[in-house]
Amino acid sequence: MKKNLLARLSLFLLTMGLATNLLASEAKKPIVLKAITTGKVGEVSNDMFMKWIGVVNKKGTGEISIKFIGGQEAIPSFDQFEAVRTGVVDICRLKGSYTKPVVPEQYALMLSQLTPWEERQVGFYDLMVKLLKEKANIMYLGRINYGMPFFLWTNKEVKNPHSDFKGFSIRSASVYDAFYKALGITPVTMEFSELYTGLERGIINGTGWPAHIVDHGWEKALKYCVKHPFYDMDVQTVVNLDTWNKLPKNMQELLASTAKEIEPEMNAYGEEFTKKKLQAAFDAGVKPMVFSEKDAKWYTDTANRVAWEEVKRIAPERYEILRKMLTK
């Protein structure tokens, strides 16, 4: 009987040991977060996002890992805001314009005259953290693209911006709508993956886009570029708030600090990116359209004026503070 008791005790201790080892093994498994990006995989404007993921994975070895699952082919661009706010994915490189119906204050992202680190200094970063948490179940980590302005690309020549845009139909998102209407353009909403087909079929006459149209092959259908930039890329890194709240404090700090550390690289990267990609489009045969100094000022002033009017309309209670924060 004594032998049976010892045998059972030994078996019990062995079982407990195995269970403890199993739990320890499970505990060592890194947290894996799923990430998506707006736009297309391989698009160069994703470079800084992919670099950030690499930094997190390197520094978080053994504790946290970000698994990149794709772009618009995984989840259509217009559905990505809902995907990250509901936890279908954990992290997203997300356009601020996609959050506009829920967090209208984010419309001002594209109008900022500040660098990302200056936005932190004036309190804009903290305001975005607060609003996205409260309204969208999202944690805002900050900008992931900066210094990449938009240009208007068309398949028709424009000499006079006051009149020649009338009758144009241009692929749009909510970022551009007010500006297009002020120019006499009819905005057309479509996924950017449908843009080339839309141009071929005559549904649209062009699009607003940063400098990298050659990366998409659009230079075959877009023959002209208004060489006067407007707005800036409103792209940010965000994390589902439920996911964020479950992370250990040190892992939250890792995600936040690495996002902050990468910001200074964006300025030089964005400037070089724009210069290089714009020249690639011109080398491919796209013709630059340059207005007179007076008309160019009217064009860019109109872009800013109508966008700030839109901010005032959709976020009246924070319009003044947003304009004060983001205007030099």
Rounded average pLDDT over 197-210: 92
The rounded distance, in Å, linking the Cα atoms of 165 and 190 is 20
The topology under which CATH files domain 150-232+279-326 is: D-Maltodextrin-Binding Protein; domain 2 (3.40.190)
- Give the range among 5-9, 122-126, 128-132, 228-232 with minimum mean pLDDT: 5-9
Q: Is the pLDDT of residue 316 over 70?
A: yes
- Residue range(s) occupied by CATH 3.40.190.170 in the chain: 29-146+233-271, 150-232+279-326
Q: Is the pLDDT of residue 8 over 60?
A: no
Contact indicator for 188, 198 with CB cutoff of 8 Å: yes
High-pLDDT (> 70) share of the chain, %: 91
Per-residue HEC secondary structure of 238-279 comes to EEEHHHHHHCCHHHHHHHHHHHHHCHHHHHHHHHHHHHHHHH
| pTM recorded for the entire structure | 0.83
Q: Is the pLDDT of residue 279 over 50?
A: yes
What is Dmax (Cα atoms) for the chain?
A: 103
The whole-number pLDDT of residue 45 equals 78
- Residue 222: strand, helix, or coil: coil
Rounded average pLDDT over 37-48: 83
The topology under which CATH files domain 29-146+233-271 is: D-Maltodextrin-Binding Protein; domain 2 (3.40.190)
The rounded distance, in Å, linking the Cα atoms of 216 and 62 is 37
Q: Is the pLDDT of residue 228 over 60?
A: yes
The whole-number pLDDT of residue 240 equals 98
